Structure 1
Amino acid sequence: MTTIAHPDVPAIDGLTVTVDNGVAVLTFDRPHRRNALHRPLLDGLAQVVAAANAAEDIRVLLLTGRGGAFCAGGDLDALADMEGESAEAARSRMRREFATSTELSRSPKPTIAAIEGAAVGAGAALALACDIRIGSPAAFFAAPFVSMALVPDFGASWLLSAAAGTARATEIALTGRRVGADEALGIGLLHRVADHPETTAREVAATLAAAPGDAVRATKALVAGSAGRTLAQQIEYEIDAQVHALADPAFATHRAAWARTVQRR
């Protein structure tokens, strides 16, 4: 099933895309395969995310899956097709496919993953590449690459370490075990557990889409860049961003609205 509701975002088989009030909802739509990534998804998903990033009327990206799973990783049939390809061809293909994680993690817009059930392998990486991750009590992460004589991909080794720390990421990647919702929440793979994660994610997305866009993008960029800076360096970046924000007419409008809200309390 392929549904498209934005002229600038390409349609690919296995993905439903809807855009409403600035929120682009990208739904993995292969429930019979637990939303595993088949060839059309592997080939086109990075382009879809890049197009959504570039669309001016899209303010938030929300990833989810249909039928009780987020994404079970690479489809086994697609993995079988990769056997026997040359090293050069494999590198070229992987750079194209794995760019989806980079497009998500570098998006200037907030990205949210609503996780029901399995987020496995590449699916776990795609969820972890999002800024905010909301899972159901049945959600779980797993990175079972070693059991197939493979190594983590789609940036999973980096993304697991960034979310949970190197020691936990190493154990999760080596054992390939399931990390359930409660544990995932405790170690940073999830930010929130909700009975209806997509509903909750849509509420969060609507709030972010309605917020001042420049402030949202600047805040995300500040936090994303902070890891490689000293506190003094980060403060200089904050000063530059805040000077720009104070000069924006949106500040006066939202300051007045905030003042009215405080007065009503």
Structure 2
Amino acid sequence: MTTWTSFPYIDDYVFDATSLTKNWARLHQCDCEPLPQDKAVMQAWLLFHNGHFQQATLAGIAAGGDGITAANKASCVYANYLETQEKTRFELFMQAAARAEAQQAEQPSNANAWFWQAYALGRYSQGISVTKALAQGLGKKVKDALEQTIALSPLHADAHIALAAFHAEVIDKIGPLIGRMTFGAKKDIGLMLFQRALTLNPHSVVALIEYANGLIALEGDQKMQDATRLFEKAASSHPMDAAERLAVELARGQLQE
């Protein structure tokens, strides 16, 4: 495996098993992942939260079972924020989607097996263009997997964010009429899902960023001030782990553009 780009703030996060356990509920308010009982799975999560994304992926795959969730989150976060090569980024997303689909077969009631398939396919779709992805049938697969995630885990904030973003992007790319007829995409549902996500996880930097992007996609320039306020709130957040730090840095960068 090629060596991945290093997390640039690697010395800022030094969780151990005790501190991670203490902060688990806050760190996983986004995805409702249960605290692992298996030491190998816990080690994968420690590597993830401290920003060692490649090692976390390898450790999660080696642990198997619930470790696959840690592997998928690590590789997807890395691909989304740090990987600069498009081909490699696409490969990482598709590998995570395949692992998640296999995990679903073994653990059909594991909400995050469905979520990470949806997330990986969704990011891949954004990369190849949402319109092209919809034509390939990926849109329905993403939407179905997100709805299954929420059915299994109604408090899963990240699934609400991703499903809201799905509604916003479909409407933005193919229009409200065709979006509603083809995928059931509706502006009011998208906005409601964004708000629900922030209610479920008020600390979510990702929710603030995606809500800002969703407002622009759904409402246009008339909501630019509201979107800017959301970006500003995201940029001023205090990240607890490596993944949150990457989201905060993304928000700061977007404000400077």
Q: TM-score normalised by the shorter chain: which range applies?
A: 0.3 to 0.5
* Structure with a larger share of its residues in helix: 2
Larger Rg: 1
* Structure with a larger share of its residues in strand: 1
**TM norm structure 1:** 0.34
